[in-house]
Amino acid sequence: MTAERSFRKEVEQLRLGAGEEFWGEGILAVTKALLQSGVAYVGGYQGAPVSHLIDVLVDAEPLMDELGVHVETCSNEASAAAMLGASINYPLRGAVTWKSIVGTNVAADGLSNLASPGVMGGALIIVGTDYGEGASVIQERAMAMAMKSTIWLLDPRPELQKVVDITEQAFALSEATSAPVMMELRVRACHLQGSFTARDNVAPTVSTRAPLAEAAPFDYSHLAHPPVTFVQEKLKVSERLPAARRFIVEKGMNEVFEGEGGEIGIILQGGLYNGLLRRLQALDLGDAFGESRIPLLVLNVTHPLVPEQITDFCKDKDAVLVLEEGNPEFIELQVNTFARQAGLKTRILGKDVMPPAGEYIAEVLEEGLQAFLRETGVQGGGGRKGPSMADIRAEGGESLGQALPPRPPQFCTGCPERPVFSAIKILERDIGKVHIAADIGCHAFATFEPFSMGNSILGYGMSLASAAAVSPFQQRRSISIMGDGGFWHNGLATGVISALLNRGDAVLIIMQNGFTSATGQQAIPSSTLGRDGKPLAVDIEKTLVALGVPWVRTVRSYSVSVMVAALRAALTTPEKGLKVIIADGECQLVRQRRVRRETAANLKDGRRVAVERYGVDEDVCTGDHSCIRLSGCPSLTVKPNPDPLRNDPVATVVESCVGCGLCGEVAHAATLCPSFYRAERVRNAGAAERWLHRLRRRVIGWLQGGAAA
Ligand code: SF4
Ligand code: SF4
């Protein structure tokens, strides 16, 4: 599934037996916990921060085969959610994974239809909740989905043994209550390093090695279809909810840390535990070993809450702070309700001292804690022991001497998607601005300087669909941009088929780089090779032609002049209907990994290796930097002008250049100055080549000497 990347070490960890120590990342610990739980099938769609789970299982194919576990790399999250249907009729434990919120939204239909009949075998959904600073997730949605669909929601305290135990308990909880269980794994929990004591892997009783002899008998009560859904809706509340609350208490899934007791306490989502402890320590309210002086109720299960557990914790306290990320404050509202219904006088604080939305990073937690202590008049504690986050930031700034400049993310050097935006920029100089519907994927980097392109981003693979209501109101055709990953995920059905159905007259550019690159180069249906290393037969151009798309062109993405011509034709042709340009160019990150390996092998065997590099002739460069503004390549920068009579810095190509040729192509397509040159650095050159090189140097030396004379 993955391109050129090996998870050999991780796969070895999956084989650990009882009593051995596992050491590694949180997401890998979850992967091992699945195997220890006797999971029979695993599926998912890639996305940060959970891609690793499926990547590793795919690489662990021999182990999966030994255990009889089926692994499916799904075409999107809806197909992953639908897989869990296997647990409705059969005693099979299954797990699927994706990135929330996009994944949970895409899977929503399947999830609610799974939750309705409920499950027989444990069904676990692992969602990567990459919410907050540096994440692409707009909002926290798992809680709302879980509450409205009667899916239990786990948010384990980020400590590897706890994460593993909760994962294993999740299957038992699902089976004891006939309900699917969702486990949120925050980005910090996924990448947390730590250890736990492994248990033996458990081969599922029903598996690919021990298949069922008979299909399940017809049972109408297991269908998510009216009228039986009316009964199921009642069962969710009358049977499954009380059963879940009993299980949570009996198995001790939530944790109380008594601290030093006292009149205040904190109820928190499990995932916030580590951040909170660190700030408590800084305020002299906790220590480095994870002991809090303030009593804590850690909710490793955030839905359902257990009313008695909440009121037991609150009953002796004057005030309790609820730490809950996201908005609205579902947990805080319930805690308030439980406390009032039990007749408690305990004051419940939450969003009144914490920000209404956004990630609870260190500064936010620290300020919120201090506000809580002030509000409640508690003066004990707060004798600060560690530096405040403000101090840490100030010290960092001082040691650097100055503030760091902002570094927005951008395309990799030599990315095949960058030239397409250069081509659009060049064309727009002739025909004017067009509406651009952008999409999720690496190509979204074009929304930053120097391209600043994209009027909307409305979902993964949804650019063409989003342009449907825009195009009819534009004099110029709109351009929708989509990656090949987005095309297969959603764009084919929501965009292309819909455009054919409605005789849409838009232009679609599909970036065909061969993988879902932004998530780690996982294979897609049109990848050259599948996860088994064998060629895949699905071709985007053939698919479009077969569907009846009237105008399809495949253009090498680095050929800027050809791309400009194709775009011009697509935007101006009198021919009506959908026009698709497939911008073809292998993901440069994948290419570089491959080339580095091939180069190393060739050098080792003494074979000739030639590496292309581009450069700028500083005597010719006019210093207007159009090339930089049009290509945006980070390897193309400026340096002082060597000519003492000229002030403008000249363009220059730095060592990180991968020789993609875009700068030269742009200079040609936009008819800029002829300052770019291409050179080859040859290693292990042959005798004839060396002789020619010596001759050239002599002639050049002679010419230079002659010129000097
Ligand atoms: S990962 Fe590949 S497609 Fe994405 S920016 Fe880098 S080179 Fe481009
Ligand atoms: S400097 Fe030019 S050739 Fe080198 S990576 Fe950048 S665009 Fe490509």
Q: Is 651 in the pocket of ligand 1 (CB under 6 A)?
A: no
CA angle 352, 356, 361 (to 5 degrees): 100
Choose the residue to mutate in 2, 411, 447, 511 for probing ligand 1, maximizing ligand atoms within 8 Å of C-beta: 411
Q: What is the mean predicted confidence (pLDDT) over 202-228?
A: 95
Q: Is 26 exposed, middle or buried (0-12, 13-18, 19+ CB in 10 A)?
A: buried
Q: Is 311 in the pocket of ligand 1 (CB under 6 A)?
A: no
Q: Is 587 in the pocket of ligand 1 (CB under 6 A)?
A: yes
Residue of the CA atom closest to atom 8 of ligand 1? 415
- Give the model's pLDDT for residue 288: 78
- Give the model's pLDDT for residue 709: 38
- Give the model's pLDDT for residue 14: 94
Q: What ligand 2 atom has the least distance to the C-alpha of 659?
A: 3
Measured from the alpha carbon of residue 560, the closest ligand is 2
User: CA 481, CA 473: separation in Å to the nearest integer?
Assistant: 19
pLDDT band at 2 (very low <50, low <70, confident <90, very high): very low
Q: Is 658 in the pocket of ligand 1 (CB under 6 A)?
A: no
Q: What is the pLDDT of residues 479-529, one digit of tens each?
A: 999 999 999 999 999 999 999 999 999 999 999 999 888 888 888 899 988
SS3 string, 528-596, reads CECCCCCECCCCHHHHHHHHCCCEEEEEECCCHHHHHHHHHHHHHCCCCCCEEEEEECCCHHHHHHHHH
Cα-to-centroid distance, 626 and ligand 2 (Å): 14
Q: What is the pLDDT of residues 86-134, one digit of tens each?
A: 999 999 999 999 988 789 999 999 999 999 999 999 999 999 987 776 5
Measured from the alpha carbon of residue 628, the closest ligand is 2
Residue 1 has pLDDT above 50, yes or no: no
Tokens of 428: 């727009």
Residue owning tokens 């109408």: 220
Tokens of 581: 């340009």
- Give the model's pLDDT for residue 521: 83
Q: What is the pLDDT of residues 6-15, one digit of tens each?
A: 677 888 999 9
Q: Is 411 in the pocket of ligand 1 (CB under 6 A)?
A: yes
Q: What ligand 1 atom has the least distance to the C-alpha of 414?
A: 7
Q: What ligand 1 atom has the least distance to the C-alpha of 511?
A: 3
Q: What ligand 1 atom has the least distance to the C-alpha of 445?
A: 5
Q: Is 77 in the pocket of ligand 1 (CB under 6 A)?
A: no
Using CA atoms of 337, 338, 341, 345 in order, give the dihedral in degrees to the nearest 10.
-90
Q: Is 513 in the pocket of ligand 1 (CB under 6 A)?
A: yes
Cα-to-centroid distance, 415 and ligand 1 (Å): 5
- Give the model's pLDDT for residue 408: 79
Residue owning tokens 């363009």: 651
Residue 260: alpha-carbon gap to chain centroid: 41
- Give the model's pLDDT for residue 287: 86
Q: What is the pLDDT of residues 328-341, one digit of tens each?
A: 999 999 999 999 99
Q: What is the mean predicted confidence (pLDDT) over 456-475?
A: 93
Cα-to-centroid distance, 522 and ligand 1 (Å): 12
Query: Is the overall model pTM greater than 0.75, yes or no?
Result: yes
Q: ω before 497 within 30° of 0 (cis)?
A: no
CB within 6 Å of ligand 2 — which residues? 413-414, 614, 631, 633, 635-636, 653, 657-663
Q: What is the pLDDT of residues 589-610, one digit of tens each?
A: 999 999 999 999 999 999 999 9
Measured from the alpha carbon of residue 591, the closest ligand is 1
Residue 708 has pLDDT above 70, yes or no: no
Residue 455 has pLDDT above 80, yes or no: yes
User: CA 585, CA 512: separation in Å to the nearest integer?
Assistant: 6
Q: What is the mean predicted confidence (pLDDT) over 228-232?
A: 95
Q: Which of 544, 483, 522 is nearest to 75 (CA)?
A: 522
Q: Is 461 left (phi over 0), alpha (psi -120 to 50) or beta?
A: left
Higher pLDDT, 329 or 50: 329
User: CA 619, CA 545: separation in Å to the nearest integer?
Assistant: 49
Strands 636-639 and 650-653: antiparallel
Measured from the alpha carbon of residue 414, the closest ligand is 2
Residue 382 has pLDDT above 60, yes or no: no
Q: What is the pLDDT of residues 529-559, one digit of tens each?
A: 877 777 777 999 999 999 999 999 999 999 9
